[in-house]
Amino acid sequence: MDPGFALNTQRRRGGMRWWVLVLFAGYLGYYWLSHRQEAAFTGRTQMVDTTMDQEVALGLQGFQQILAESQVVREGEAVNEVREVARRLIDAGPKLEQHLATTRGVSAVTPWDQFEWEVAVIESDQANAFCLPGGKMAVYTGILPIAQNDDALAAIMGHEIAHAILRHGAERMAQQKLVQIGSVAAGMSTSDMDPRQRQMVMAAIGVGTQYGVMLPFSRKHESEADYVGLMLASAACFNPAESIGLWQRMGANSAGKAPPEFMSTHPSSDTRIQQLQGWMDEANQIRAQFCEKH
């Protein structure tokens, strides 16, 4: 074999196409600047590249599919309880939004008029609830014994409503799009590497993205929904202190089942309790302001 050919082959295999990463970084900056907006209730900057109409349509489609595949409870005490808690939370939303706009200068406004609220109760052992974009909400009966009372149920449902009004689903879609593009850019930039070396680099990038970006991003959303949900429940005149007992029971229910926090999409129950305790003074102040008779 020609020594010069072998040397050139080694050089090609050992090279990194840095220009690809530079282009991706430039695109990332442009994408962020062109799709950033202020989040409702918190005022933080978020990245969203879908319209509210698109999100509402996706939420309706997903909700209809879930209900078609589930055993929906049509009437009874549980249904009445869930609907009443939802009504109070929904009614309190605009008031809380106005309060935070006045006290914190949050200018973003949630398009409540685009949300067509609908609440369902689903017969299931799952300890779960959700609220999709557009206000399509469901509570699984398996979470009711853990909630134990309306105040704790309000913390659960307020958390789920917060995900929808903060447009967390749209944020995750935008983030996943960038991660996919970044993966393609990483693959192109390492295409000249030795196959083994390239495999190691790509694996390291994948692990770093998962544990350094995706999971922390998800946990941040959960904490933000905990905060807004707690304030929403307080503005609806529920007792925010019941959220502590709720997460103590949730922790006991998931004992031995949940992965370590750094490997999870959700904060641990202990972390959530600590955060809720830190927000309790503010929650009580909001409750006192809106609910003097309670």
Tokens of 196: 């083994």
Q: How far apart (Å, rounded) are the C-alpha atoms in residues 288 and 281? A: 11
- Helix, strand or coil, per DSSP, at residue 119: strand
What gap in Å lies between CA 7 and CA 3, rounded to an integer?
A: 6
Q: Which residues contact 163 (CB under 8 A, 6 or more apart)?
A: 130, 131, 169, 221, 225
Contact call for residues 142 and 28 (beta carbons, < 8 A): no
- Give me the catalytic one of 55, 97, 160, 242: 160
* Calpha distance 152→88 (Å, rounded): 14
Nearest to 167 by CA among 265, 47, 60: 47
Q: Which of 42, 274, 22, 245 is nearest to 146 (CA)?
A: 245
Helix (H) or strand (E) holding 134: none
Q: Residue 120: enclosing H or E segment and its boundaries?
A: strand 118-122
Catalytic (active site) residue 224: no
How many angstroms separate the CA atoms of 244 and 273, rounded? 6
Among residues 251, 273, 228, which one has the least CA distance to residue 96? 228
Residue owning tokens 């993205």: 209
The two tokens of residue 74 are: 């049509």
Give the Cα separation of 233 and 240 in Å (integer).
7
| Residues classed as catalytic | 160
